[in-house]
Every structure is written in C-alpha cells, then in structure tokens.
Chains A and B, each alone.
Chain A
C-alpha cells in the first residue's frame, strides 16, 4: 500500500478510530497520543493487509488491538466500572434526559475493557466467531459474556 493510498484510508476512517478511542480514554492528550499510535501501527502493518476484508475492518481491528495492548498512564479504569455505576446510580437525572444514544455510549464507556470490546464489535456488526477469534476466547465463553453485557446494558437503559 502506497503512502497516498494509506493516508486516504486513514482519513476516511478517522471517525471510526476516534469513536473507539473515545470509549477507552477520557483525556484529550491520551486520545491524541493513541490516535498517532494507531496510525503508526497501521502503517507498520500495512503489508499484512491482504485485501480479504474491508480496509475499515482491518483498521478497526488494528485500532482495538493497539488500544488494548497499549501502555496506560493510570492503571485504574478511565471510566468508572459498570458495577460501580449500578451502585451509585451514575445514570443521573441529567443523563436520563439526554438522548438514548448518548446514554448507551456512556454505559459502554463504564464497562470493563474486554466487555467494552465485545459489545462494541458486536454492535458494529462483527459476528460472534470473528469476535472470539480476535480476542482468543472460545465461542461459548464469548456468547455468555456478550449475553451478560447486553442484559446489563438493556437494564441500564430501561432504568432511564
């Protein structure tokens, strides 16, 4: 893949990468640094892309991989875990008035990293075998995890 073509693909998919970064990082600096890291990892691995999937799918997977295997400045979750959200009723009145899509986004942000990855890939149209293969878990394991996350999210959103 030539540089011009590569830049064009990244430009087309900036929104996609940014959407993922927004789920895992809160601070703007962290998001910007990780965006650059994703671009560098895509650039380094551009020859691994064989064209058997869409470019956006390849970039999506590289971005998720880079985010999850990256070095964090803070060990604690950037967003409060869902269990805490349940306890503290973090879906506040203000949030309840907000649009459902924003509420869903916030609920996903509060999930643990692996749960967040599973539900995001699922909602973005990846099949269960694809997600299981990407993560390195069994399909049964993935099905149970996905079921639990979806139930939890639905409960959160219905409570609003």
Chain B
C-alpha cells in the first residue's frame, strides 16, 4: 500500500462514511458559545458580582452592628473584596484579549489558554483564603455578641483556641471546596489541553532526513 492508496481511500471515505446533517445555521449564530475561555469569563463575572454583593452585605452588617470589632472585621473583608474585584477585572481583561487575539498556532494558543486558566484559579484561591478566615471570625463574634452583648466579649484563652481551630478548619475546608469546584469545572479541560500540548511538544527520537 503506497501514499496514493491512502489518499485515494480517504477521498472515497469522505463521501460515504459520514452523513451530512441539516442544521439551521442562522439560528446557531444567536446560540451560546461553549468556548472554555468564554465560560471562564462568565465565571469571573459571577465572582465579581458575589464580591459586590459581599461588600454590600458587610456594609449592612456595619450599619446594624456598630461595634469596633465588627468595623474592623467588616473593614478587612471589604478591603479584601475590593482588592479581589480589582484582580478579577484584570483577569477578565486578559481573558478578553486572549479571546480576541488571533493565535499564531495551536501549540501557542493551548499554552496561553492553559497558563491563563491555571493562574486565574490559583489567584482566586489564594485571595479567598483571608476572606474565609476573617468571615468565620466575624461570624463567631457576631454570634457571641448576639447571645451575650458586646460588653461581655472578653473570652478566655480556651475560647480563643477553639475560635482559632474552627477558623483554621473552616478556611481549610472552604479552600479545598473551591479547588474541588474549579477542578470539577475545568479539570478535564486542563488535562485534555495538557495531553495535546505534551503530544505537540514531544520531540521525535530520530529525524527522518528526507521529507515525506
């Protein structure tokens, strides 16, 4: 079997193996893209909306619980949220550029996409850690003062230790949960891209001199 045989067989296969579907192409133009980059962009905007809602919520907490500790805790969370929003908007702009960019080749495009998705998730996960920690601390404080009033908030060492343990466990679990969610949403895609990148980057052991 020679080169021409394969091409000849392939030529025949295109006509009889695959049945052409009938689609309403015009209707498809108004459909929703399933591009992973667009999905990631939507995901970022949802996170940003949560960030804005979080700022509003903690502003309300400060309004209804005008105590120094609440101001400090809410202030820290709001500052983290604002920083978080800034970072997310930078990432959203990078994504937008990557979506609009006409990539040079497949390997370059996959490497860019893989790096951007991974770095976006790493940044989201890192920024969220202090958010979880301060949130649980503030939540426990609010529970305490709701029960006993702000004047009685002078916990013993054991209570501080318990608060510390709960804060560490909660932060750890929330962080793991976020990583699991990201892995669930994009893990398969990242693995798939990594596999194609490694296939493309794999250099042959020997180079055949004469071009085929």
Contacts and interface: CB of A to CB of B under 8 A. Distances in A.
Nearest to B186: A71
At the interface, is chain A mostly helix, strand, loop or mixed? helix
Contacts of A145: 204
Contact of B211 (A40, A71, A139): A139
Contact of A19 (B18, B28, B110, B199): B18
B208 interface: yes
Nearest to B20: A15
A150 B6 contact: yes
Contact of B1 (A40, A99, A134, A157): A157
B116 to A, nearest CB: 12
A136 B105 contact: yes
Interface in A1-39: 3, 7, 10-11, 14-15, 18-19, 22, 32-37, 39
Given A101-B17, A104-B9, A113-B196, A68 B31 contact: no
A113 B199 contact: yes
Contact of B212 (A128, A135, A136): A128
Interface in B11-54: 12-14, 16-18, 20-21, 23, 25-26, 28-29, 31, 33-36, 39
Interface residues of B, number: 51
B203 interface: yes
B199 A114 contact: yes
Contacts of A99: 12, 16
At the interface, is chain B mostly helix, strand, loop or mixed? helix
A14 B20 contact: yes
A134 B196 contact: no
Contact of B34 (A15, A33, A115): A33
Given A11-B25, A157-B1, A74 B188 contact: yes
B108 interface: yes
B17 A69 contact: no
B20 A18 contact: yes
Interface in B128-183: none
A39 B25 contact: yes
A118 B122 CA distance: 34
A51 B109 CA distance: 23
B126 interface: no
B211 A143 contact: yes
Contacts of A114: 196, 199-200
19 contacts: A3-B29, A10-B25, A14-B20, A14-B23, A15-B18, A40-B29, A40-B31, A41-B35, A71-B189, A101-B12, A101-B16, A113-B199, A124-B10, A135-B107, A136-B104, A136-B106, A140-B207, A141-B203, A154-B6
